[in-house]
Amino acid sequence: MSTYYFRFFAVLLFAIVLLTAVSCSRVGNSIETVAAETKDNPADTPPIVSATPIKIAKGEQTAVFAGGCFWGVEAVFEHIKGVSDVTSGYSGGTKQTADYETVSGGETKHAEAVKVVYHPSQVSYEQLLKVFFAVAHDPTQLNRQTPDTGTQYRSAIFYSNDEQKRAAENYIAEMTKAKTFAKPIVTQVVPLDAFYKAEDYHQDYLAQHPTQPYIVAYDQPKVENLQKQFPDLYVSNKNSAAADKIISADDAAKKALNVGAKMPAFSLKDANGKTIESDDLLKQGNLVVVFYRGSWCPFCNLYLRNLQKNMTQIKAAGGNLVAISVENPDNSLSVAKKNELDFTVLSDPNLTIAKQFGIVYDFPKETGELYKSKGLDIAKHNEMEKAQLPLSATYIVNKKGEIVYAFLEPDYKQRAAPEVIIETLSKIKSGEVKK
């Protein structure tokens, strides 16, 4: 972050980034229940007081913390020695309301939280408390963590047993007595009833989106502070197993956004470099979103041409179609011209939007080597570090932004039939499918 402060204009630029940064807002509705188990940090961090030790338990243990947007809190705990897994999710409310769209209203009693699985023999609960209060968030902000506001961003510790409760309450009492913070600590210490896993695209968010303005401004500094303040606990490699896991097309198809979920809002450039907003597209009609692998894929080109042949019927059924690829606008323009398309073709650099849909998979290594021998390096072609591609997915989204149809076939040779797309659009138009 030091480069932002190099001189006055750099400071001014950083201020603009802060003002325009993407907020911690996402959409989707995939959840998993986990039963209860046995600052924006100031520049000058207050001194750390000693937490009261608790009895060391055997085997893996679980801790649940809430400290604002879970992206940054998750990233901090993923870099701690002895932590084997960190999951972003929701705690404090019911299963029925445990999805982002509902939680974001601030009326569900849920808080954005993280579930930390750790080995007490390597890192203690009191050490996790120290990191939580010193680095992961500001415990003096009531129902907010700058720039996010609402009860869902409150500071809370969800304890699993009496020992965790005592440790948390004692530590807060010690910090209060030591006047560790200039303002009162507002952290809640409450029992853990249940933890609900958040949507898949929230998991490992900092690692997936390291250059996003919000991440750069608010979350990356937390990880840097962790390394400075707790060098003995800090590990550079992510502890999450997802870091090195190969995501197959089958995995992606199972975990992708599906019917009933909200479509992630997007802003992408078209083949001519013009920025296209998803909100504007939805105003034009029910939206058909087609992801394709690239101009090099013959199946993709054939499918796009087939869609073009059916565009009159798609429009008559009230549909508006866009095709999205990881390729840059120049390649998108080539695709549009080569296939004589009159629908919008968008460029999704680094598969940012495709990842929010949850449809990105790792291109098989053996197949990648074969393609390289033929002169095509997928990673280099797409200007990415890893060879990744989107499923050849098709979504139909109503004007409210809700997914009403999803074609998620792992086999890239299988595509949503234009007849099915037209039929679904017609049903939306007639009211048979939710508008």
Residue 254 pLDDT level (bands cut at 50, 70, 90): confident
In this predicted structure, what is the pLDDT of residue 75?
95
Q: What is the mean pLDDT of residues 246-254?
A: 82
Dump pLDDT digits (tens) for 109-159.
999 999 999 999 889 999 999 999 999 999 999 999 989 999 999 999 999
CA dihedral 152, 153, 155, 157 (to 10 degrees): 50
In this predicted structure, what is the pLDDT of residue 340?
80
Show the 3-state SS of the chain.
Answer: CHHHHCCHHHHHHHHHHHHHCCCCCCCCCCCEEEECCCCCCCCCCCCCCCCCCCCCCCCCEEEEEEECCHHHHHHHHHCECCEEEEEEEEECCCHHHCCHHHHCCCCCCCEEEEEEEECCCCCCHHHHHHHHHHHHCCCCCCCEECCEECHHHCEEEEECCHHHHHHHHHHHHHHHHHCCCCCCCCCEEEECCEEEECCHHHCCHHHHCCCCHHHHHHHHHHHHHHHHHCCCCECCCCCCHHHCCCCCHHHHHHHCCCCCCECCCCEEEECCCCEEEHHHHHHCCEEEEEECCCCCCHHHHHHHHHHHHCHHHHHHCCEEEEEEECCCHHHHHHHHHHCCCCCEEEECHHHHHHHHHCCEEECCHHHHHHHHHCCCCHHHHCCCCCCEEECCCEEEECCCCEEEEEECCCCCCCCCCHHHHHHHHHHHHHCCCCC
Dist. CA 151–CA 157, nearest whole Å: 14
For this structure, is 300 an active site residue?
Answer: no
Dist. CA 360–CA 106, nearest whole Å: 31
Other beta carbons less than 10 A from residue 23's beta carbon: 12
What does CATH list as the number for 249-430?
3.40.30.10
Question: How do the domains of the chain map onto residue ranges?
Answer: 24-243, 249-430
In this predicted structure, what is the pLDDT of residue 33?
36
In this predicted structure, what is the pLDDT of residue 62?
96
Dump pLDDT digits (tens) for 389-410.
999 999 999 999 999 999 999 9
Average pLDDT, the chain: 84
Dump pLDDT digits (tens) for 44-78.
445 455 454 444 445 689 999 999 999 999 999 99
Which superfamily is assigned to 24-243 in CATH? Peptide methionine sulphoxide reductase MsrA (3.30.1060.10)
What's the alpha-carbon Rg for the chain, to the nearest Å?
24
- Whether 420 shows a pLDDT value over 90: the answer reads yes
Sorted by sequence, the CB contacts under 8 Å of residue 254 that are 6+ apart come out as: none
Q: What is the mean pLDDT of residues 312-316?
A: 96
